[in-house]
Structures are given as structure tokens and as C-alpha cells.
Amino acid sequence: MDIPRIPDIATLHARYRNGTLTPTRVVEALLDRIAAYPDKAVWISLRDRADLLAEAARLEAAGPSPDQPLWGIPFAVKDNIDLAGLPTTAACPEFAFTPTQDATVVARLRAAGGIPLGKTNLDQFATGLNGTRSPYGAPRCVFDPDYVSGGSSSGSAVAVGAGLVPFALGTDTAGSGRVPAAFNNVVGVKPSKGLLPLTGVLPACQSLDCVSVLAATVADADLVRRVAQGLDAADPFSREPADKPITGLRFGVLAGADREFFGDTESEALYDAALARLVALGGTAVPIDYAPFQDCAQLLYGGPWVAERLAAVEGFAASHADSMDPTVRAIILGAKGITAVDAFRGQYRLVELARRTAATWAAVDVLLLPTAPTIYRVDDMLADPVRLNGNLGRYTNFVNLLDLAAVAVPAGFRADGLPFGVTLVGPAMADGDLALLADRLHRAGGFGIGADRTAPIPGGPPPSGPREGDITVLAVGAHLAGLPLNWQLTGVGARLLGVVRTAPDYRFYALAGTVPPKPGLVRDPGFQGPGIEGELWSLPADAFGRFVAAIPSPLGIGKVRLFDGREVSGFLCESAALDGATEITHLGGWRRYLAGKG
């Protein structure tokens, strides 16, 4: 069986389990695709084919493991992130060096079973949102080679959108993991600052940088984020995840005066359609004052933070300025006139603007913004590189300055076939719930995956939701996909609808003496926890009774409230079973508990 045109983690793992694919076959096929792909600017370097096949064969020999959630999954690495044995160029050949160790995030993904294929192109020194600032060429939009792919994580986004890898690592300071996602019809997860360590990542602005994840689905990108996240002693900016819950669906939207699409009326209409979809999913649209966010966005390149880009490569820029892309050089060396006084004034201004945005966050739970207001031709971008690039960052530049999390998802196509995307923005450490919302919004659109506009989004039903007459059930433990009792759902024809999270007033326990191991979910009114991650499954009504009858004590089915206010049937536990149980609420889900045990 051939691999999908746009491969995803869930589908590859399903085919690994049923024996129709192997990691070796997938690696071979993807390397062949890469060789045949006409845009030769996507990759800067690839690992040796024999080494990759040997790595895949070693994984096959050892077999899949619960502590390797990325077992056999190939991926790409943006070339400002270290991959041992391949040069790190940052799209500047004269800067190149060959690391002997993987960046922390790459090492964690490899330990989880991932297979890095090579290094992808980028706007030089991660300075740009358009993908044209590289001596290795300008990767092009997967839908039209006359248009930019977005940057700076250009090669990573095209690699996913073209079906060359299931996921790719990028970085995101000003929108570099979100804008290229929008321009190639894929998902871009920009985690909270510090969640994914920066050890082994050449910084653009070290205090603001994030490693980003580009993938076919939100579920895939969020899985990668969870595998790679966590403190790193070598990175003083790294942070532990906190799983801040999002407890409502009030979403902030651009009011008329704040809307700017630079004449692209079709993209504006697609933005309105995305707002309507989120309302249909139960959200409440709240117009916001975007002015303080826009003022904050202008600080990134119009304020002292540009000096942090010089700090990252100051020695190289002093001795090799002629080796740099002219636009990148002008931006980075333009920081020489910035003083310490300017830096402090910039900090004061940022604090003032953050205070002004607090009124917005008191009224909304998330923001829903265009990822980019429009898309440009490569020739136009090269002719006017600074102004047009600035236009692309209008709705992205503020996010890291204000310490927010963001997930970009596809949101439709213009009449000329070019894509548009929107971004959900939420508070720091709300990454998990933000992903759950983004997943629902992505599935509601039905815009395909990457270059395949007709592909269904894997892991769930069409946007219409459960089949007519089906009953929806929340699984939180051994019935999750791939776990020991999941067959009891799939055996009666159940379909996975997606990943969700409960409301915050639930506690979670690892029960004692259960075989296979099972958790217990108990509601505790007034308790404010992280909420518990689970999966929604759609069961045929005539099978629901048989399924419930087979559930052993102390578990049963009752009504469970989700974080977005919906109430569904789900697994609950008798309180008497908690004697001898271990509370694991803080972990936020059964998979994380199992991963810790492994």
C-alpha cells in the first residue's frame, strides 16, 4: 500500500500496526519523493540514504514502544536547528558549521522514535516572513510557484505541504512558523515561549524565539510539541509546561477599523467565513480594539528588539557582512545605532501595551485573527522586500512579545487557488486547549491538507460531525486509540472524532489493581485543575448498549462537561474505587501518565 499523498502521523502508525507499511518503506518512498520534487530550494542538505535506512531498520528490529510515540515517523529540521553530522548554515554558506550533537528538541524527537531526514531552507538567519532571502533559492508556494512560500520556515512548510515529510520543525519569532503554514495549507503550532528548549538553535531574538511545528493536522503538531517540550538545564529560557485551561469560547475578532487586508477582499471574506465557523462550533465573537496589539507588533522591527538579532551573529556580521543577504544585512546591521537607553524605553513601552491588552483578555478567551492579510508574488517581494514583508507580519508580530501561544490552521482558498489561513491566539501555557479548539476549527473547514485540497483530515469524521443517530462517548484511559481496550470501540464500528479536554473541575486517578491499567475520572465541583485530555468517539446507537454493558465496575458512563461547555457521555469512576489510587490530575491525561511510567 502506498503512503498517502500528504502523510500524517496517525495514518502512518495505523498502517505500521496493520503491517501494510514499515518505517523503511516510508523512508525510501519519501526520499524518492524529495528527489523528484521540482522545487529544489526546499532542502539545504539531506542525510545519507544508507544511514537513514539503517536507522529505520534498527527501529523495526526493536519494534514499537509506548515511550516512542513518534516511532518510525520521518521529519524535517529547519537549518538553524542543529542536526548532528549535517552543517547548520542558517541559509548562509559562509556561516556554516557542523554540530556533533543534536539540538535538544531534535534529540527528544529521535528518542521518541522520529527519523530526521535533513535540513530545510529558510530566510537567512531566520530574518523574514516570505522565504525569498536565501542563497539556496526561494521555496515556492505549493499551489503556485510564482508566489512566496512564506518564511522564515519556508522549506519546512513546503516539505509538509508537498507531502515530503509528515511534520517539520521551524522557528517562530515574528510569525515564521505561522505565515508559511498559511501559504501552504498546513498547520503551524507556535508554542508558548520556553516550552520547546532552544539549546542547539541559532537564535534570531533569543528572548522571543520559539521552536515551531508544522504538520498536516493539529493533532500531529501538538503531539510533537508535547514530546519535545520541557525544561532543559542548558537553556535558561526554557520552562515547564503548565497546561493552563481555556474555560470558554469567547473569541476576539477584528473590528472594521482594524481590518487591513491590503486590498485582498477575498481573504477578508475567508476570514469572515472562519469567524462564522467558530460561532457555529459554539463560540461567541467579541470585537476587540486591535490598536495596542498592532502597536506592539511594530516594536519587533521598529523598536530595540532588532538589536537582539545583531547579538546572535555580531562577530560573523562584523567580519562577513558581504556574505549576508542584502536585506537581512540591512536589518541586522541597522541595529548598531540602538542604545541601552533605547532598549529600556522599548521595555517600558511593551509593559504599557501589555497593560492595555489586559482589557481585551478580560473580555475574551482567545483571539481569532488572519494569519497573514494577503500573499505576494516572488517578483513583487524581491522588488519591495521590507514593506511587503512587514505587511505579512501585521497579525503575527505581537504574539511572542506578549508571551502568548498560537496555532495557525487552513481557512480556505481564493478563486485563484491560493490559500488563506487563520490563527487562534491564547494565553501562555494554554497550548493544549488552544490545540483542541484549533483542531475543531480545522476539521470544520474541510480544506484538505497541504497540496491535496480534497484530502479528509485524518483521525476524525468529515466536518459534519458524528453520523446521524450515533452517540458520542468520551474515552480517557485504556479505550484511547492504540491502547489495550480500544478494540471494544473499534469492534462495534466506533469512529474517532478528535481529541478534547474536560472542564477544569475533574480529578484523575491511576486506579490500583486494574488489568489492564485504568484511570478513574471523578468530578470535584469547585476544583480548578488543568482538565483531563480524552478522545471523543462516535458509536452506532444500536451498539452503545452492548458497549456500556461490558464496562466493568468501578467504571461507568455518565455525563462529562468539556472545557468548551459541551456535555457528553463519558467514562466516570465510583468514588469508592479511589482507595489506594494515585492522583495524576496534574499530568492532564492518561497518555502522559503512561509515558512517564515508560
β-sheet with 419-427: strand ranges across: 43-46, 115-120, 74-78, 167-172, 210-215, 187-190, 404-413, 419-427, 366-370, 250-254, 284-288
Quick check: 292 pLDDT over 50?
yes
Q: How far apart are CA 157 and CA 149, in angstroms?
A: 8
482 or 369: which leads in pLDDT: 369
What's phi and psi for 285, nearest 5 deg? -75, 130
Other Cβ atoms closer than 10 A to 281: 16
Q: How far apart are CA 59 and CA 74, in angstroms?
A: 12
379 sits in which H/E element: helix 378-383
Q: How far apart are CA 252 and CA 257, in angstroms?
A: 14
Per the DSSP assignment, residues forming a β-bridge with 424 are: 368, 407
The fold for domain 9-248+365-445 equals Amidase signature (AS) enzymes (3.90.1300)
Segments in 120-264 forming alpha helices (H): 154-161, 179-183, 218-228
Report residue 293 as a C-alpha cell. Answer: 496589539
In the chain, where does the domain assigned CATH 3.90.1300.10 lie?
9-248+365-445
189 or 222: which leads in pLDDT: 189
DSSP SS3 for 498? strand
Report residue 324 as a C-alpha cell. Answer: 549576508
Strands 519-523 and 284-288: unpaired
Q: For a pLDDT cut of 90, what percent of the chain falls above it?
A: 76
The 10s digit of each residue's pLDDT in 354-364 is: 999 999 999 99
Spatial CB neighbours of 19, under 8 Å, sequence gap ≥ 6: none
The 10s digit of each residue's pLDDT in 117-145 is: 999 999 999 999 999 999 999 999 999 99
**Which of the given ranges, 29-33, 308-312, 503-507, has the highest pLDDT on average?**
29-33
Q: Which of 28-37, 265-274, 343-352, 533-542 has the lowest mean pLDDT?
A: 533-542
**Which of the given ranges, 154-163, 464-473, 580-589, has the highest pLDDT on average?**
154-163
Is residue 458 reached through a cis peptide bond, with omega within 30 degrees of 0 on the bond before it?
no
Quick check: 345 pLDDT over 50?
yes
Residues classed as catalytic = 78, 152, 176
Report residue 428 as a C-alpha cell. Answer: 501562555
Q: How far apart are CA 71 and CA 113, in angstroms?
A: 4
**Which of the given ranges, 61-70, 71-80, 489-498, has the highest pLDDT on average?**
71-80
Buried b (16+ CB within 10 A) or exposed e, 155-189: bbbbbbbbbbbbbbbbbbbbbbbbbbbbbbbbbbb
HSE at residue 70, side-chain half, CA atoms within 13 A, is 28
Quick check: 460 pLDDT over 50?
no
DSSP state of 143: T
Average pLDDT over residues 286-297: 96
Spatial CB neighbours of 50, under 8 Å, sequence gap ≥ 6: none
Residue 462 has a pLDDT of 31
Residue 490 has a pLDDT of 79
Nearest one of 40, 138, 145 to 451, comparing CA atoms: 145
In the chain, where does the domain assigned CATH 3.10.490.10 lie?
471-597
Segments in 465-588 forming alpha helices (H): 487-490, 541-549
Residue 465 has a pLDDT of 46
Residue 244 has a pLDDT of 82
Nearest one of 508, 493, 500, 489 to 551, comparing CA atoms: 489
Please give the mean pLDDT across all residues of the chain.
93
Q: Which of 209-223, 260-274, 426-440 has the lowest mean pLDDT?
A: 426-440
* Band (294; pLDDT cuts 50, 70, 90): very high
Spatial CB neighbours of 518, under 8 Å, sequence gap ≥ 6: 477, 478, 511, 555
Average pLDDT over residues 371-396: 98
Q: How far apart are CA 587 and CA 529, in angstroms?
A: 10
The 10s digit of each residue's pLDDT in 503-560 is: 889 999 999 999 999 999 999 999 988 889 998 888 888 888 888 888 888 999 999 9
Whole-prediction pTM value?
Answer: 0.81
Q: How far apart are CA 314 and CA 333, in angstroms?
A: 9
Report residue 437 as a C-alpha cell. Answer: 479548539
Quick check: 224 pLDDT over 90?
yes
**CATH class of residue range 471-597:** alpha beta
* Band (468; pLDDT cuts 50, 70, 90): low
404 sits in which H/E element: strand 404-413
